[in-house]
Amino acid sequence: MPLPFPSGDLARHARACRKRRSGAPVLSGGAAGRCRHRQPAARRACQRAAWRHRRLPAPAGGPAGGLWSRHGGAAAGGRNGAVSEARLADLTEDALLDGRVRLRQPRQGLRAGLDAVLLAAGIPARPGETVLEGGCGTGAAFLCLLARVPELRVVAVERDAGLAELARHNATLNGHEGRVTVLTGDIADPALRQALPRLHHAFANPPYWPSGTEPPATLRADATHAGPGPSLAHWAAALAAPLRHRGSVTLVLPAARFAEGAAALGQAGCGEIGLFPLWPRAGQAARRVLLRARRGGRGPDRMEGGLVLHEGQGWTEAADALLRGGAELKWD
């Protein structure tokens, strides 16, 4: 994978990842690198849970080939992140942002969708900047961000070696291989963090629930829990550490964890925390929120206006502009 950064440390780390990719994940110590899309057996339960899943069925009556369409797998192209023919049989090729993003991902499991698209929409990135995604999975979020701001440079970290390879493949599939570096490792590993360049923005969709808590009945704990010892504090600290002054951290979280997420961002040296509720429908409680903060920010925290996603049988006009049109989510 061509590296978009001159950092010798990052290049050496990437070479080490490539050498060891056939074995255990590189830098696998530390629990903050685990995401809920790691355990295939547990993912199907999450897909059936309303709004807990990450698949995006098109609204009834919506146009075909819209935000989330399904296609059969085709032969992989490109040397970097190439996927074998045998593995392609276990993948689907899906379209995000009305077809502007092609995403190959496992046919079975917790699949990327709504969370990733909304997370990407909420990142205030600008052309020429450098961003970090922690726990990138197959790359859906950073690919949606690149569809809006193609002049970005992306470093993504993924603990699962198979998903990391697929994220590299998806970057190549979408023509971004020269701008994306996917590292196989743990976002909280000190050696990896020291190799990163100074970044403008960082973002993640961390595991839903801390170890030891009881998830909703429709969720499987091993697909949604971070494992022994992790917390949002690990994620916030790992994401904030390589940021420039006033660089942003953006998280998508269950609404029930917004207070914990805000506290974690504060402990990581971030301020000016914004809370952006995502309501399924007008008058219904938010089930997801976006949190955004600035490293070293000293301004007041704030509650944003939020976004209502559905009306009638489809998306609201504002949601459609984000989910199909690829627009940036406007914070107050």
Q: What is the pLDDT of residues 234-284, one digit of tens each?
A: 999 999 999 999 999 999 999 999 999 999 999 999 999 999 999 999 999
Residue 91: predicted pLDDT = 93
Residue 115: predicted pLDDT = 95
Asked whether the beta carbons of 249 and 273 are under 8 A apart, the reply is no
What pLDDT digit, counting tens, does each position of 31-57 carry? 333 343 333 333 333 332 333 333 333
Task: Give the model's confidence band at 75: pLDDT under 50 very low, under 70 low, under 90 confident, else very high.
Answer: very low
Residue 79 clears pLDDT 70, i.e. is over it: no
Full DSSP string of 6-61: --HHHHHHHHHHHHHTTSSPTT--SGGG--GGG-HHHHHHHHHSTTTS---PPPTT
Q: What CATH number corresponds to the domain at position 136? A: 3.40.50.150
The reply to whether 1 falls in a domain is no
Terminal Cα-to-Cα distance of the chain (whole angstroms): 38
Strand partners, 288: 254, 278
The reply to whether 30 falls in a domain is yes
The reply to whether 237 falls in a domain is yes
Residue 106 clears pLDDT 50, i.e. is over it: yes
Residue 131: predicted pLDDT = 99
Lowest mean pLDDT among 70-74, 215-219, 253-257: 70-74
Alpha helices in 81-182 (DSSP H): 85-88, 114-121, 140-148, 161-173
What is the span of the domain harbouring residue 78? 8-323
| Phi/psi at 233 (5° precision) | -60, -40
Residue 84: predicted pLDDT = 67
Nearest Cα to Cα of residue 138 among 100, 180, 195: 180
Residue 142: predicted pLDDT = 98
Q: Which residue has the tokens 């998306």?
A: 315
The reply to whether 328 falls in a domain is no
Asked whether the beta carbons of 176 and 146 are under 8 A apart, the reply is yes
User: Cα dist. 303→47, 232, 264, 273, 292 in Å?
Assistant: 30, 20, 17, 9, 11
Alpha helices in the chain (DSSP H): 8-20, 40-48, 85-88, 114-121, 140-148, 161-173, 190-195, 221-224, 232-240, 258-267, 317-323
Residue 134: predicted pLDDT = 96
The reply to whether 331 falls in a domain is no
The reply to whether 265 falls in a domain is yes
The reply to whether 294 falls in a domain is yes
**47-76 as b/e, with b when 16 or more CB fall inside 10 Å?**
beeeebbbebebbeebeeebbbbeeebeeb
Count of structural domains within the chain = 1
Identify which has the larger pLDDT, 193 or 47. 193
The reply to whether 289 falls in a domain is yes
Task: Please tell me whether residue 211 adopts helix, strand or coil conformation.
Answer: coil
